[in-house]
């Protein structure tokens, strides 16, 4: 069949293990067989991956931008689709565009752009667009970090309902500070709409964190960052989120936002099934050092580290998912465990029931080919090559 593809002689990495010399048969964008060589079926379209790794395509559920592009600033579908194309350079096969705190009119425009981009997206042209993550505006101004305090708002059910309806079903995740007035009503309401509520930019105590999980929080926005500092007497919300088996944990594994030992501690305590590697990348990603924007705030990038102009406040990152993957492998975890954290767990954290994020029969053929240094050689999205290193 002309729409069939076979990846041969690869070291196939999935959540369930590694096949040292394996093959993957793809038909109509779906994986129909995974096995050990030798392969004896039709070979009309073959990718010879001898000496290479085939891993599930990376899934980034927290990214603001890449290659000079910013979700909140541009607010048009062509920007989202260009981001989708650029992300495949880094092995990303699906992503969740993330808006920062902004006026409601701006967020509505972002929703429209994401919705149109999802309608326009075609396999082979870039990474899948999974919907929208609103990081705010319902956060604690005292923990704004690189968010604009001018646009932070108290949660309002009527306001959120209007925003949700205007988003035409693409709003997948919202970051909320669970301790602010109105959040206790918003969290269960958003959950009832099928939206993932993630706790972040918060001063919540441990007890407030436990309550937030009871109300419906199922995710942590960049765990430890922009959260109550941990203390042995007042552990804060981070420990409550870490302890709850219901909560997925975003981890920015650039070793700037978190010390490597902290990344390792989180993985060891929660397990790969709960840890989602994310980038929190901004427009400066893949670009030279300089001055960039995140929403309406200026960010200066020096040696790849992003900070708000004139401060020491971290403002997103220039991390890419392939680098996060390599960093996690460097901590001593198996390829299967890291693949789970970079692909399958992020997908599960969104609760969409999508059959992506793993290499197994019946899943969509979103696959990244890596060399022996774990650098991207090809990115395949829905069975079509979307990026090939030259």
Residues 189, 117, 112, 221: is their CA dihedral positive or negative? positive
The one catalytic residue in 70, 280, 322, 358 is 280
Residues in CB range of 28: below 8 A, 6 or more apart: 3, 383
- 24 alpha carbon, distance to own chain's centre: 25
Q: Where are the beta strands (DSSP E) in 303-371?
A: 305-308, 367-370
Residue 233 tokens, joined:
């007497």
Cα–Cα dist 269/243, whole Å: 8
Decide: 179 and 211 in contact? Cβ < 8 Å: no
Quote the CA–CA distance of 221 and 176 in Å, as a whole number.
9
CA 136 to CA 377: how far, in whole Å? 36
C-alpha–C-alpha distance, residues 341 and 251, integer Å: 9
Stated as kind and residue range, the H or E segment containing 19 is: strand 17-27
Determine contact, residues 63/280, Cβ cutoff 8 Å: yes
Identify whether 382 is a catalytic site residue: no
**Residue 332 φ then ψ, to 5°:** 105, 5
The residues carrying an active-site annotation are 280
């Amino acid at each position: 069949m002309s729409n069939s593809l076979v990846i041969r002689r690869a070291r196939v990495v999935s959540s369930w293990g590694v096949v040292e010399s394996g093959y993957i048969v793809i038909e109509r964008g779906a994986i129909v067989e995974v096995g050990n060589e030798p392969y004896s079926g039709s070979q009309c379209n073959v990718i010879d991956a001898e000496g290479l790794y085939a891993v599930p395509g990376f899934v980034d559920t927290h990214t603001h931008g890449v290659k000079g592009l910013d979700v909140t600033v541009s607010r048009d579908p062509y920007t989202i689709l260009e981001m989708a194309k650029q992300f495949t350079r880094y092995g990303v096969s699906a992503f969740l565009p993330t808006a920062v705190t902004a006026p409601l009119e701006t967020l509505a425009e972002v929703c429209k752009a994401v919705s149109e981009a999802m309608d326009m997206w075609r396999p082979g042209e870039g990474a899948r667009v999974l919907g929208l993550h609103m990081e705010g505006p319902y956060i604690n101004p005292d923990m704004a970090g690189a968010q604009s305090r001018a646009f932070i708002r108290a949660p309002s059910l009527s306001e959120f309902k209007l925003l949700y309806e205007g988003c035409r079903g693409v709003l997948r995740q919202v970051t909320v500070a669970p301790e602010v007035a109105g959040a206790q009503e918003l969290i269960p309401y958003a959950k009832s709409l099928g939206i993932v509520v993630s706790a972040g930019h918060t001063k919540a105590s441990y007890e407030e964190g436990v309550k937030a999980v009871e109300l419906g929080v199922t995710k942590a926005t960049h765990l430890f960052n922009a959260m109550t500092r941990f203390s042995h007497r007042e552990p804060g919300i981070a420990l409550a989120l870490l302890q709850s088996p219901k909560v997925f944990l975003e981890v920015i594994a650039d070793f700037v936002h978190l010390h490597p030992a902290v990344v390792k501690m989180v993985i060891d305590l929660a397990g790969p099934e709960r840890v989602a590697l994310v980038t929190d990348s901004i427009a400066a990603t893949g670009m030279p050092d300089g001055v960039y924007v995140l929403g309406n705030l200026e960010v200066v990038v020096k040696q790849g580290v992003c900070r708000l102009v004139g401060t020491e406040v971290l403002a997103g990152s220039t991390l890419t998912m392939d680098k996060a993957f390599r960093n996690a492998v460097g901590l001593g975890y198996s390829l299967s465990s890291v693949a789970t954290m970079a692909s399958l767990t992020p997908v599960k954290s969104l609760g969409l029931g999508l059959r992506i994020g793993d290499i197994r029969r019946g899943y969509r053929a979103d696959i990244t080919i890596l060399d022996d240094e774990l650098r991207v050689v090809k990115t395949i999205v829905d069975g079509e090559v979307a990026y090939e290193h030259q």
